């Protein structure tokens, strides 16, 4: 019986040591990027998401308007928009744009910029350069889980030249940075199913 207790105690101590070592290694590996993942502890609200959506829509319209001043002005504004509204510097960002087919996913800032104002990826025509005169959101629902919040629904883009609206389905996910600002970490967009 004593032998069984000693073996059990030995296994517990060995397992604890392995888990402690594993935790230490993971913590040490993560330490270099720890600052990147800091967020505020304040829970995200529905009202903040709606405000962030309106800010995003105005930014898309502004990029198109900036294109009248030249390609450089639109590109600079698009860079600022991505830096300001998306969490590429704080987290992984999952971005699947509406009109991406050959390269469906834009997981870094350079590819997101290409989508909004053309660039590295051949299929990109500059979505934000349309230009659009308005973007409005119709939220189907929200999932508020304090540190991460999701919104899903339709948003409508009004063509500045024709006044025609284009309906697009979306899911957006948000985190709050350490300064309290909401950042997009999920942007999934697609045109409605048309059989």
| Structural domains in the chain (count) | 1
**pLDDT band per the 50, 70, 90 thresholds, residue 32:** very low
pTM of the model as a whole:
0.79
User: Is 24 within a domain?
Assistant: no
Which CATH number do you get for residue 150? 3.10.450.50
The helix/strand/coil state of 171 is strand
User: Is 6 within a domain?
Assistant: no
User: Is 53 within a domain?
Assistant: yes
User: Is 64 within a domain?
Assistant: yes
Question: Residue 173: which domain range?
Answer: 42-190
The token duo for 53 is 């959506």
The token duo for 123 is 């299929």
Q: Each residue of 180-192: pLDDT tens digit? A: 999 999 999 999 9
**Beta strands 165-176 and 132-145: pairing type?**
unpaired
**What is the spatial distance between Cα 175 and Cα 23, in angstroms, rounded to a whole number?**
26
């Amino acid at each position: 019986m004593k032998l069984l207790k000693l073996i059990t105690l030995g296994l517990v101590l060995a397992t604890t040591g392995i888990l402690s070592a594993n935790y230490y290694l993971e913590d040490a590996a993560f330490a270099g990027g720890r600052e990147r993942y800091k967020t505020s502890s304040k829970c995200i609200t529905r009202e903040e998401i709606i405000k962030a959506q309106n800010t995003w829509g105005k930014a898309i319209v502004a990029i198109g308007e900036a294109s009248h001043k030249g390609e450089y002005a639109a590109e600079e504004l698009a860079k600022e928009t991505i830096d300001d509204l998306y969490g590429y510097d704080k987290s992984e960002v999952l971005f699947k744009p509406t009109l991406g087919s050959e390269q469906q996913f834009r997981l870094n800032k350079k590819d997101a910029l290409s989508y909004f104002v053309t660039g590295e990826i051949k299929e990109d025509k500059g979505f934000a350069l349309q230009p659009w005169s308005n973007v409005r959101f119709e939220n189907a629902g929200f999932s508020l889980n304090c540190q991460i919040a999701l919104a899903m629904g339709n948003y409508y883009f009004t063509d500045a030249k024709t006044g025609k609206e284009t309906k697009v389905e979306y899911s957006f996910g948000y985190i709050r940075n350490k300064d309290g600002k909401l950042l997009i970490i999920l942007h999934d967009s697609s045109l409605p199913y048309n059989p």
